[in-house]
């Protein structure tokens, strides 16, 4: 997979792209990530990338010419051009899974008041928002999308099954994790996890995942695929029963 990120502020990406799982995935050749300075695609001595909005109002708008030139230089069959935009469709684990199958992502980072509307209408294939709030630029959203997508690529995580067990992976929140010590300030690790009984541990984890989802994100239960036993557990929660602590 290749991801090209088009930005006016390439320096923002230096740390995040070389650390931890993203850095290792690049070193292993699972993903190539290019950070492209939009200014390099602007014409004229001053390489101007933004201009005043027609009709007045504060703020600047990213000009269409450098964005079109840059994307037309990068695009090839199999590319998907994604504009990061608070007005786009909401990013989620499902969208991350969808994007992880794309051969070549081109992520366009807006700035200031945003991009000229013709970029949205005639250049972007997709528009993604990472949530209902407004950031100063598309760089952090591009990093969020890149991180969520790259960790799904086969070989990116030490445990290949981790994405399926993570929250949203199987439609539920994931249950709690504990590590050593067994007792910390008087708080003990749940007995089931220390039992060495794999079936009991799996049952405990599943019950905890269901419980947390029922408590924190009941909306997820409407679409999660639940076995008859799991549906029974949810029914018991409704009647006031708690899972084994
Ligand atoms: N004036 C725009 C509006 O009200 O819709 C907001 C522009 S914002 C200050 C500048 C840029 O940051 C946007 O063009 C976009 O690339 C990025 N951005 C801000 N919030 C975002 C979000 N929640 N998701 C994705 N991109 C975002």
Do residues 34 and 3 make contact, with C-beta atoms less than 8 angstroms apart?
Answer: yes
Residues identified as active-site: 86, 113, 151, 166
Tell me: do 141 and 35 sit in the same domain.
Answer: yes
Question: What is the model's pTM?
Answer: 0.96
Tell me: do 193 and 142 sit in the same domain.
Answer: no
Tell me: do 34 and 114 sit in the same domain.
Answer: yes
Residue 32: helix, strand or coil by DSSP? strand
| Residue 60 pLDDT | 98
Q: Is 109 in the pocket of ligand 1 (CB under 6 A)?
A: yes
Tell me: do 90 and 200 sit in the same domain.
Answer: no
CATH number at residue 28: 3.40.1280.10
Return all residues near 64 (Cβ < 8 A) that are at least 6 apart. 115, 116, 118, 119, 123
Work out the mean pLDDT of the chain and round it to a whole number: 97
| Residue 38 pLDDT | 98
| Residue 170 pLDDT | 87
Tell me: do 173 and 103 sit in the same domain.
Answer: no
Cα(85) to ligand 1 centroid in Å equals 5
Reported as a single tens digit per residue, the pLDDT across 84-124 is 999 999 999 999 999 999 999 999 999 999 999 999 999 99
Is 162 inside any structural domain?
Answer: no
Which residues share a beta bridge with 232? none
Q: Is 53 in the pocket of ligand 1 (CB under 6 A)?
A: no
Reported as a single tens digit per residue, the pLDDT across 205-244 is 999 999 999 999 999 999 999 999 999 999 999 999 999 9
How many domains are contained in the chain?
A: 2
Q: Is 93 in the pocket of ligand 1 (CB under 6 A)?
A: no
Reported as a single tens digit per residue, the pLDDT across 34-91 is 999 999 999 999 999 999 999 999 999 999 999 999 999 999 999 999 999 999 999 9
Q: What is the mean pLDDT of residues 167-175?
A: 93
Tell me: do 191 and 233 sit in the same domain.
Answer: yes
Tell me: do 90 and 50 sit in the same domain.
Answer: yes
| Residue 172 pLDDT | 96
Reported as a single tens digit per residue, the pLDDT across 144-165 is 999 999 999 999 999 988 888 8
Tell me: do 136 and 191 sit in the same domain.
Answer: no
Output b/e per residue, 26-37; b: 16+ Cβ within 10 A: beeeebebebbb
Residue 47: helix, strand or coil by DSSP? coil
Q: Is 61 in the pocket of ligand 1 (CB under 6 A)?
A: no
Q: Counting atoms of ligand 1 from 1, which one is nearest the CA of 59?
A: 1
User: Of 103, 121, 150, which closes a domain?
Assistant: 150
| Residue 232 pLDDT | 96
Angle between helices 198-216 and 228-238 (to 10 degrees): 50
Cα(141) to ligand 1 centroid in Å equals 9
CATH number at residue 225: 1.10.1270.20
Structural domain boundaries enclosing 86: 2-150
């Amino acid at each position: 997979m290749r991801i090209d990120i088009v930005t006016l502020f390439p320096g923002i990406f230096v740390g995040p792209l070389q650390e931890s799982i993203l850095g290792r995935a690049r070193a292993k050749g699972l993903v190539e990530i290019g950070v492209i300075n939009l200014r390099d695609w602007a014409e004229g001595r001053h390489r101007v990338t933004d201009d005043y909005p027609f009709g007045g109002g504060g703020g600047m708008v990213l000009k269409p010419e450098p964005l079109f030139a840059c994307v037309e230089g990068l695009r090839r069959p199999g590319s998907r051009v994604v504009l990061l935009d608070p007005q786009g469709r909401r990013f989620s684990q499902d969208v991350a899974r969808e994007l992880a199958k794309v051969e070549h992502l081109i992520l366009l980072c807006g700035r200031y008041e945003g991009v000229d509307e013709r970029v949205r209408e005639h250049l972007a294939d997709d528009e993604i928002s990472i949530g209902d709030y407004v950031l100063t630029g598309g760089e952090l959203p591009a990093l969020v999308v890149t991180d969520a997508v790259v960790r799904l690529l086969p070989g990116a995580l030490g445990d290949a099954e981790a994405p399926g067990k993570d929250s949203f992976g199987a439609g539920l929140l994931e249950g709690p994790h504990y590590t050593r010590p067994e007792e910390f300030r008087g708080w003990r690790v749940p007995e089931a996890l220390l039992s060495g009984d794999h079936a009991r541990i799996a049952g405990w984890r599943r019950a905890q995942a269901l419980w947390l989802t029922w408590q924190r994100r009941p909306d997820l239960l409407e679409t999660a695929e639940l076995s008859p036993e799991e549906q029974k557990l949810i029914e018991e929660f409704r009647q006031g029963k708690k899972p084994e602590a």
